[in-house]
Amino acid sequence: MRTIGHFRSADARAAYVRAYEAAMAALPPPTDGFEVGTSFGCVRGFRWEGVRDTSVPVVLLPGRSAGVPMWGDNLPDLLRSERTVFAVDALGDAGLSEQSVPLSTAGDQATWVEETLDGLGVGVVHTLGHSFGAATTAAHALRFPSRVASIGLLEPAFVLRWPPPSTFVWATLSLVPGPSSWREHALAALGGVEVDEVRARTPIGEMISAAVEHFQSDLPTPRPLSREQLGRLTQPVYVAIAGRRSLAGGERAATRARTLPNAVVDVWPGTTHSLPMQVPAELALRLRSFWDRVDPAG
């Protein structure tokens, strides 16, 4: 039986929130924050108001242990689209959102996203997810297709192929109490970066480290989509795969993504699973062009 994600203590939550707020301070100032009640808990996030009132807004879904601040490198360029951008902390994971009911299936994940969008009062949206967030993005689009103008899958772990077996070992090791060097090597392997990059004391790095150390999650593991499910993703889809150290499946995942009915698939040379942070300007340019082309209001 699944449990509810939680911080290990009040002090643990306070330490995480301090790191979260420091990471948020590096982002472009949001227009406002919001909280929306759903069947699975209270979802919190932030809104950046765009100036193109007729454009379809963008909704960002983060990777594991990342939350809204993970988009810090991306937001300055994404906001040049002049669209309204919403970013949320995922239920059941570290962040400001508060889970109240266990999440047992991909359908549950899709439901809290849909109920959040209902609560925000938005119509159709472009959804964009990284890693585990991409799996939630795909699950939502499958179950609520009329809500989605397009979906973006950035290094979509589990969506197209199973990650390498070592991923599960590193994920477990990152959560085991022990020397900090264990956690650093595990986080480096999961992010596809060097250990020195994890050890660099950046605000986002400190926040992710605090999330891994202080938050206990019990989310269901996504499964790669079947051929039938891929065929039902008829919305425009943008897929970005890392050219080096991909956890999404590399070239094999890209080949499978090209079977989607309406997909644009890019393999980004030299990038790893941390692709969004490694090519933020180039990726934003690609996404803005994609959204403008498929935008029902455009």
For residues 193 and 277, the answer to whether their CB atoms sit within 8 Å is no
Q: How distant is the alpha carbon of residue 272 from its chain centre?
A: 15
Question: Mind listing the pLDDT tens digit for each residue in 57-98?
Answer: 999 999 998 999 999 999 999 999 999 999 999 999 999 999
User: What is the share, in percent, of the chain residues with pLDDT greater than 70?
Assistant: 87
Higher pLDDT, 229 or 178: 229
pLDDT > 80? residue 111: yes
Alpha-carbon distances of 273 from 5, 163, 248, rounded to whole Å = 24, 11, 8
For residues 60 and 71, the answer to whether their CB atoms sit within 8 Å is yes
Q: 114: exposed, middle or buried (C-beta count within 10 Å: 0-12, 13-18, 19+)?
A: middle
Six-digit token pair at 11? 């002090």
- CA contacts within 13 A on the Cβ side of 228: 0
For residues 77 and 4, the answer to whether their CB atoms sit within 8 Å is no
Q: How do 32-38 and 148-154 pair as beta strands?
A: unpaired
Q: What is the pLDDT of residue 189?
A: 53
Six-digit token pair at 131? 């890693």
Distance separating alpha carbons of residues 291 and 294, to the nearest angstrom: 5
Distance separating alpha carbons of residues 32 and 34, to the nearest angstrom: 7
Which of 229, 285, 232, 237 is closest to 258 using CA atoms?
237
pLDDT > 50? residue 169: no
For residues 27 and 38, the answer to whether their CB atoms sit within 8 Å is no
Q: What is the pLDDT of residue 170?
A: 44
pLDDT > 70? residue 17: yes
Q: Which residues pair with 59 in a beta bridge?
A: 86, 127
Question: Mind listing the pLDDT tens digit for each residue in 144-164?
Answer: 999 999 999 999 999 999 886
Mean pLDDT, the chain, rounded, equals: 90
Q: Report the range of poorest mean pLDDT among 50-59, 146-155, 248-257.
A: 50-59
Q: What is the pLDDT of residue 298?
A: 47
Six-digit token pair at 53? 């009132």
Domains, the chain, with CATH or none = 6-294 (3.40.50.1820)
Which of 210, 189, 199 is closest to 93 using CA atoms?
210
Phi-psi region of 288 (alpha: psi -120 to 50; beta: other; left: phi over 0): alpha
Residue-wise over 165-179: b if at least 16 C-beta within 10 A, else e?
eebeebbebbeeeee
Distance separating alpha carbons of residues 97 and 172, to the nearest angstrom: 23
Q: What is the pLDDT of residue 180?
A: 59
Question: Mind listing the pLDDT tens digit for each residue in 172-219?
Answer: 545 555 545 545 555 555 555 555 555 557 898 889 889 988 999 999
Amino acid at position 111, single letter: T
User: What is the share, in percent, of the chain residues with pLDDT greater than 90?
Assistant: 78
Distance separating alpha carbons of residues 94 and 20, to the nearest angstrom: 10
Q: What is the pLDDT of residue 62?
A: 97
Q: What is the pLDDT of residue 16?
A: 95
